[in-house]
Amino acid sequence: MMFLNLFKNMANNSKDYFIIDEPKVKFLEKAIVNPVIILFAAMIVPMFTHIPYFGRWWLPFVWLVFNGIILGSPTLKKEILYSVIGLVTLAALFYLVFYIIEQNFHFNFSVIDYLLIIMYGIFFLFMYLVVFLQEAPYQIYQYIKEDKNV
């Protein structure tokens, strides 16, 4: 009887329950960055290099939207909306600047400089709006990613 119990215990111990492994990190997941980094890049990179086709204005928005897609951001629709509104507003201001230059208006002060400052203001306003929206999902992603003691 004692041997039987011992045998039973051995049999039970040999049975093990397997927990499935986590999937490997997807290639695109490696491209996820903190949205604040995109904001900083939008500020710093144009200081050192020229981005063709007015890239300094639209590229950060595209990057943020791409980041939102690969992050699986639940606020992606809002992020796209803000990006589009920002880009359309910037395009309208660009049109205004070119119009003023073409028409050769004369003012006592440098209108173009003021318009440029406002354009930067609008650019950063929409950048901040998108970045703040993406920050919460990014924090959740970061929480899962960090210290994964698997």
Partner 1 sequence: MFDEYQYDRALACYNRGQIDQAIDLLKPLLAEDPNQVHLHALLALCLLSKKRLYAAEYEVQLALSIDAQEPLCYSILARIYFLKNKMSQALENCDESLRLNPNYSDSLLLKSEIYSVLGETQKSLQCLNEAAKIEPDSIDISLAYGHYYFYKGDSEQALMYASEAMQKDPQNSEAAVLLGKIKLKQGDVDEALQLAKFSILNNPDSSEALKLFCDIKVRQNWFLGLWWRINSKLSSLSGTKASIVLIAFFLLFNLLSQLMEDLGYLGLSKVFSYGWLLLVVYSWVGLPMYQRKLQKELSQFRFNDDY
Binding test (CB under 8 A) with partner 1, winner from 29, 91, 140, 142? 140
The answer to whether 71 and 33 have CB atoms below 8 angstroms apart is no
CA distance 30 to 103: 49
Shortest distance, position 26 Cβ to partner 1, whole Å = 12
CA distance 33 to 83: 18
CA distance 42 to 86: 14
Residue 25 is a binding residue for partner 1 (CB under 8 A): no
Please report, as residue ranges, which positions from 74 to 103 form the binding site for partner 1 (by CB under 8 A): 74-75
Interface pattern 28-67 for partner 1 (x via CB under 8 A): --------x---x--x------------------------
- For residue 101, the one-letter residue type is I
The answer to whether 137 and 74 have CB atoms below 8 angstroms apart is yes
Instruction: Give the interface with partner 1 as residue ranges (CB under 8 A).
Output: 12-13, 15-17, 19-23, 36, 40, 43, 71-75, 109-110, 113-114, 117-118, 120-121, 124-125, 128-129, 132-133, 135-137, 140-141, 143-144, 147-150
